[in-house]
Amino acid sequence: MTINKNFVTFSKGIVQELDYPAQVLIAFNKETRVMGIQVCRAKTRGSFKFSKPEGEQKGIVQVMNKNLKETLLHIMPEWKSDKRYKIEGIHIPEDKAFVFELSKFEELPDFRKK
């Protein structure tokens, strides 16, 4: 998972492991600094639109949601809103979920050349 300036990107591998779900739930634990995503039904309250069906999805999924980005910055006060961060995910197949330990982040270089 990559946290960018305007969106959160989930890799093709994550999308494939979750079997291209149309909707996911995103949950946070501020104390442990963990974020999780889990496959859910379309009518699940608070769910996020995620992937197109396998034949239509072109690799990565980008979630452009201001509240998601603000929540991540609140949990991780050392992160800067104009920087990019990468966090490896832990797949939990039996729960159709991924967990991300936010404190184990890697700061990425800026896209733009100065």
% of the chain residues with pLDDT over 70: 96
pLDDT class of 112 with cuts at 50, 70, 90: low
**CA–CA separation, 20 vs 12, rounded Å?**
9
Of 88 and 113, the one with more pLDDT? 88
Short-list 104, 61, 107, 105, CA closest to 84: 107
User: Is residue 5's pLDDT more than 90?
Assistant: no
Residue 10 burial (10 A CB sphere; 0-12, 13-18, 19+) = buried
Give the residue-averaged pLDDT of 69-78. Answer: 94
User: Is residue 114's pLDDT more than 60?
Assistant: no
Q: Say which residues have a Cβ less than 8 Å from residue 2's Cβ, sequence separation at least 6.
A: 8, 9, 11, 84, 85, 86, 87, 108
Question: Model confidence over 10-43: pLDDT tens digits?
Answer: 999 999 999 999 999 999 999 999 999 999 999 9
Model-level pTM? 0.91
Tell me what the pLDDT averaged over the chain comes to.
93
Q: Say which residues have a Cβ less than 8 Å from residue 16's Cβ, sequence separation at least 6.
A: none
The whole-number pLDDT of residue 83 equals: 93
Evaluate whether 24 touches 100 at the Cβ level (below 8 Å).
no
Residue type, 83: K
The whole-number pLDDT of residue 66 equals: 86
